[in-house]
Amino acid sequence: KAGVTQTPRYLIKTRGQQVTLSCSPISGHRSVSWYQQTPGQGLQFLFEYFSETQRNKGNFPGRFSGRQFSNSRSEMNVSTLELGDSALYLCASSPGEGGTEAFFGQGTRLTVV
């Protein structure tokens, strides 16, 4: 059974640009959550999607957005990139909404220069 797949693994972007990250959850899982990991702030919750709907959102500015498709794949978008957006972005897959088990992908390492 394939795990959580995040693409791309690495990205380098310039300040002011926008970026889209992709996450394919484990087959059969319908909930996808996104987390940002930085050395200074640690792991912080961005948002959760279930059945193509954003169920919950963390304390991030509106530049951070996302969506979920009918096949449960999810994308997150960050517009007008800032240096502080440099981070490891992790996607977690759960069978249901707020599921007990959350399985993470390898993450996308975003560097903003």
| Count of CB atoms situated within 10 Å of the CB of 85 | 22
With 0-12 / 13-18 / 19 or more C-beta atoms within 10 angstroms meaning exposed / middle / buried, residue 22 is: middle
Q: Which of 56, 71, 77, 111 binds another protein (CB under 8 A)?
A: 56
Q: 65: closest CA among 91, 34, 94? A: 34
Shortest gap between Cβ of 80 and another protein (angstroms)? 25
Q: Is 105 in the site for another protein (CB under 8 A)?
A: yes
Task: Considering the complex, state which of residue 19 and residue 91 has its C-beta at the smaller distance from another protein.
Answer: 91
Q: Could you give the residue ranges of the DSSP H alpha helices within the chain? A: none
Task: Considering the complex, state which of residue 8 and residue 98 has its C-beta at the smaller distance from another protein.
Answer: 98
- Quote the tokens at residue 25: 């959850």
Task: Considering the complex, state which of residue 46 and residue 81 has its C-beta at the smaller distance from another protein.
Answer: 46
Piece of 13-21, 60-68, 72-80, 96-104 that binds another protein (CB under 8 A)? 96-104
Q: 83: closest CA among 105, 53, 113, 56? A: 113
Binding site for another protein (CB under 8 A): 4, 6, 33, 35, 42-43, 45, 48, 55-56, 58, 90, 92, 97-98, 100-107
